[in-house]
Structure 1
Amino acid sequence: MTQTGKSEHGAASPLRRDRNFNVFWVAQILSVTGDSFAYIAIPLLVLHVTGSVTQMGLLTGVAGAASVFAGIFAGILVDRLDRRTLLICCDLARMVLYGLIPLAWAFGPQIWLLYVVLPISEAVGMVFQVTYVTAVRNLVDDDRITAANGRLYATSAMAGIGGPLLAGVVSGQFGPTAAIAINAVSFALSAACIYFVRFGGQATASASAPPRQKPWQELLAGARFLWRHPVLRTLTILLSFFIFFTLGLTDVLIYYLKHDLGQSDGMVGMVLAVAAVGTIAGSLLVAPIRRKLGFGTAWIGGIAVGGLAITGIGVSGDIPVIAALMAVYLACVSVGGICSMSLRQQVTPDHLLGRVTSAFWTIHFSLGPVGAAVLTWGAGRYGVTVVCLFAGAACLIIAIIALFTPVRQPNPEHLVSAD
């Protein structure tokens, strides 16, 4: 892979001095902020017009299904098309789609349009996300991938906090359609930024890439690579079980605060805001943690400490303690998740990275919805304490199992896939 961001003497320059990465970073902030505006404004628009929670749920379900379906094929597009062009096209497509909503609403509410725009936008957004993950590989050298992912993840979390707050203010003052209009503009600005980014080392339909295969072989190529790499295979399996036991944790926490501890909606928001600081902290600390402790210790330690934090949430009735423990848990999730994503970017051939990313996400999230349903059902049936103890113990078991696998190695990026 051609390395980017090098100084004239061959050493990697700091990220803050890397023009290409910083422009891409700004584009990512704008894109995430736009997504967070839509996250708030679309449900508000539906409520203003219909007053129906069922309509909101149906629209969310349809959009989610479109995203999952797009994820199956996104990897092939990313590996066969120019990534810079694909990112720009995704942003411009979302600009047009979301821009249609305020234009149509100027002539009266058009709920049917949301059932057209949102699923297509979510599908395009999935393609953007897969492309964005693979693009990092073409922006920075291997030694800086973890640090780059950490910064992108941290600012994404910040935008995810600030975006909804701003969207709520704009919606309250000018209506949800105004927030959606700002959303459309944010995608236009993101596309403009990406236009000035120059990617290096991309093997898009190049001579070094293998010949194209049949469609079903293309779809399975990413899964085959995950299976053949000893560390990625183990990580994919362990993380699939991890998300089964943890995806519903936020819902369980909200239930705990409201139902068991009798807290207000404002306090729930405050606890979640404090917890989100953990995501930012973990994202900023992951690079030095991995560099000092090695991959295995960082990943296994994150899962283990996260499990202990979940256990503590279940046995504590003190609000500040619960908020702090949730922040610790989210920090650990950030460390583990960024380590895992960075490793995939480091060891996967560039021409296959899109399909590997799609395959991982599809497998990884397959057990999540079932786990979330089981976790929330268990909280209502047996209580939050039992569920948290169970989920925390499961995370500890996952960490212990990882100790006896290739995941424990400090530098698994040096391993190769099995033939």
Structure 2
Amino acid sequence: MTALHPAPEEALEQAPEQAPEAAAAEAGAPRPPSLRRNRDFVLLWVGAGATALGARVSSIAYPLLVIWATGSASAAGLVGFAAALPNLVVQLHAGALVDRWDRRRLMILCDLGCLLSAAAVGASVYSGHVWIPLLMAAAFVQGSLAIFYRLAERAAVRHVVPGEQLPAAMAGNEARGQAAGLLGLPAGSVLYTLARSAPFLFSAVAHTVSLVSLLLIRKNFQDERTQAPGNLRAELAEGLSWTWKQRFLRWGMLLIAGSNLLFQGLSLALIVVVNEAGGSAAAIGVITAVSGTGGMFGALTGTFWMRRVSLRGLLIGGAVGWAVLMPLVALTGNPVLLGLVFLAAAMIGSVTNVAGGVYQVGITPDRLQGRVGGAMGLIGSGAASLGMLGGGFALEAFGATHTVYGIAAAMAALALLSLLLPHADYPESLRRSAAPAAATDPEAK
């Protein structure tokens, strides 16, 4: 769950020139075709959706495989740590390379790498071997390639849709991601109950679908580069500097980093709670299916909240909401009730993701898209790699109930700190562009 909140006065100074399509729309020119009729956007949307679905299926399969095969929460924490570690060590360099390399070609290579690693795990598990080092290596590779893919895909959106359709496109992308979770997480649980290797083999097939869709896209995913790449270290520093100068973005992302860390531990605690209550892997699927509806609702109403609540208000409200919801996980092992708790948490996260994604893509110059996305990923999600690791050891040392209450107390402290955030709001130009897109495009509804 991420959020992007640059201060408006700084963001306006950095905002790119108005897209020609947006200028034409303001001049009274006919609106462009619906996003559903935009061939390249549909292919990109479907391909990224397949990638997300495959990643969701395998992501839930890893902890299920380790906990049900070995009974070790600490081993599950190690595998989860390996999957989340790229957020800490890969983000910055991935962003710089996304700005340097051909983004479409890079996404194709990412799909190939994920396909091969998922197939390797599936073949190993099918043969009856559950090797923690192999699972850790595969999870790290898939997590790393997913970062490259995500940064490239987010930067590519503005090149396949007109400027005035960007809010609707980003809302559609967030809904796609939530749908992948809604379908992928329970599907991963069900596939695991059928055969331990099935989720990983399914993931390999999903990446194949994404690969084919990328090969069919015609448009370029970046502006023409007029300058040769410079010093990589200097480019990394430029991306960090641009991001860090946005005052509200800086402090808001630090707050989100803390909440992401806590949610990693809470997600692992959820599996242990269900397991201790006598539930099965399928029960985890029920919980994720219920929570996924909240994510979908949040994504589809994202532009609604953007027009009515400031960035600061969304972030504070989200932190307070999460602080109220987290301790409820320790009070029940009922999958439906736990699903409702995670439903509300997912809705909050989706609204924040839509608002942040639209804003970041809209104001960041194309040459900095990858680096700014990588910098924000490092700040917002880098610490999350420690959440799964710490959560696994805390669960073994203190038990599920005490661990959940500890996580909830830390979230309450973050919610109090969020009240100190400086004021920030969307630039007026972005607010105007979001309103007609949400009102007229069916994808935004």
> TM-score normalised to the size of structure 1?
0.77
Report the 3-state secondary structure (helix = DSSP H, G, I; strand = E; otherwise coil) of the residue aligned with 1:138: helix
The farther-off stretch of 82-91 and 359-368 is 359-368
Aligned with residue 70 of structure 1, among 68, 90, 93:
90
Q: How many residues align structurally?
A: 403
Report the 3-state secondary structure (helix = DSSP H, G, I; strand = E; otherwise coil) of the residue aligned with 1:401: coil
Asked if 1:232 corresponds to 2:252, the answer is no
Partner of 1:214: 231
Partner of 1:243: 260
Describe the shift of the 1:66–1:289 C-alpha distance in structure 2 as closer, same or farther (beyond 3 A). closer
Describe the shift of the 1:395–1:120 C-alpha distance in structure 2 as closer, same or farther (beyond 3 A). same
**How far apart, in 2, do the equivalents of 1:122 and 1:76 lie?**
17
**How far apart, in 1, do the equivalents of 2:89 and 2:350 lie?**
26
Q: 2:291–2:342: 8 Å Cα contact kept in structure 1?
A: yes
Report Cα offsets for 1:66-115 as digits up to 9, x if no partner. 56433231111100111112112211233344445567789886957656
Partner of 1:417: none
Aligned with residue 401 of structure 1, among 414, 420, 430:
420
Partner of 2:103: 83
Aligned with residue 288 of structure 1, among 287, 304, 314:
304
**How far apart, in 1, do the equivalents of 2:218 and 2:192 lie?**
36
Report Cα offsets for 1:180-202 as digits up to 9, x if no partner. 33322221221111222244672
**How far apart, in 2, do the equivalents of 1:297 and 1:336 lie?**
10
Asked if 1:152 corresponds to 2:168, the answer is no
**How far apart, in 1, do the equivalents of 2:243 and 2:154 lie?**
16
**How far apart, in 2, do the equivalents of 1:324 and 1:66 lie?**
30
Asked if 1:345 corresponds to 2:345, the answer is no
The farther-off stretch of 73-82 and 129-138 is 129-138
**How far apart, in 1, do the equivalents of 2:221 and 2:109 lie?**
21
The farther-off stretch of 59-68 and 220-229 is 59-68
Asked if 1:181 corresponds to 2:210, the answer is no
Q: CA deviation at 1:222?
A: 1.5
**How far apart, in 2, do the equivalents of 1:369 and 1:63 lie?**
8
Q: Map 1:2-401; keep pairs closer than 5 Å.
A: 2=19, 9-40=29-60, 51=70, 53=72, 58-65=78-85, 68-100=88-120, 117-170=138-191, 172-173=193-194, 175-199=195-219, 202-203=222-223, 206-207=225-226, 212-244=229-261, 246-251=263-268, 264-265=279-280, 270-293=286-309, 295-310=311-326, 313=328, 323-369=339-385, 373=390, 384=404, 388=408, 391-392=411-412, 394-398=414-418, 400-401=419-420
Letter in 2 for 1:183: S
Q: 1:307–1:329: 8 Å Cα contact kept in structure 2?
A: no
Letter in 1 for 2:57: F
> TM-score normalised to the size of structure 2?
0.73
**How far apart, in 2, do the equivalents of 1:107 and 1:257 lie?**
28
**How far apart, in 1, do the equivalents of 2:342 and 2:134 lie?**
38
In structure 2, stretches of 5+ residues that fail to align are 1-16, 432-445
Describe the shift of the 1:300–1:138 C-alpha distance in structure 2 as closer, same or farther (beyond 3 A). farther
**How far apart, in 2, do the equivalents of 1:393 and 1:126 lie?**
29
Report the 3-state secondary structure (helix = DSSP H, G, I; strand = E; otherwise coil) of the residue aligned with 2:217: coil
**How far apart, in 1, do the equivalents of 2:67 and 2:273 lie?**
26
**How far apart, in 1, do the equivalents of 2:154 and 2:80 lie?**
24
Q: CA deviation at 1:40?
A: 5.0
Q: CA deviation at 1:224?
A: 0.5
Report the 3-state secondary structure (helix = DSSP H, G, I; strand = E; otherwise coil) of the residue aligned with 2:420: helix
Describe the shift of the 1:167–1:335 C-alpha distance in structure 2 as closer, same or farther (beyond 3 A). closer
The farther-off stretch of 185-194 and 37-46 is 37-46
The farther-off stretch of 12-21 and 244-253 is 244-253
Q: 2:35–2:169: 8 Å Cα contact kept in structure 1?
A: yes
Q: CA deviation at 1:134?
A: 1.7
Report Cα offsets for 1:355-406 as digits up to 9, x if no partner. 11111111222443556748978886867557535523532541x223xx24
**How far apart, in 1, do the equivalents of 2:401 and 2:309 lie?**
41
Describe the shift of the 1:263–1:66 C-alpha distance in structure 2 as closer, same or farther (beyond 3 A). same
The farther-off stretch of 359-368 and 76-85 is 359-368
Describe the shift of the 1:394–1:108 C-alpha distance in structure 2 as closer, same or farther (beyond 3 A). closer
Q: CA deviation at 1:14?
A: 3.4
**How far apart, in 2, do the equivalents of 1:298 and 1:340 lie?**
10
Report the 3-state secondary structure (helix = DSSP H, G, I; strand = E; otherwise coil) of the residue aligned with 1:131: helix
**How far apart, in 1, do the equivalents of 2:330 and 2:366 lie?**
46
Q: 1:27–1:189: 8 Å Cα contact kept in structure 2?
A: yes
Describe the shift of the 1:115–1:16 C-alpha distance in structure 2 as closer, same or farther (beyond 3 A). same
Q: CA deviation at 1:246?
A: 4.6
Describe the shift of the 1:46–1:267 C-alpha distance in structure 2 as closer, same or farther (beyond 3 A). closer
Report Cα offsets for 1:144-191 as digits up to 9, x if no partner. 333323322222222223234444555555x44454333222212211
**How far apart, in 1, do the equivalents of 2:130 and 2:409 lie?**
47
**How far apart, in 1, do the equivalents of 2:37 and 2:332 lie?**
46
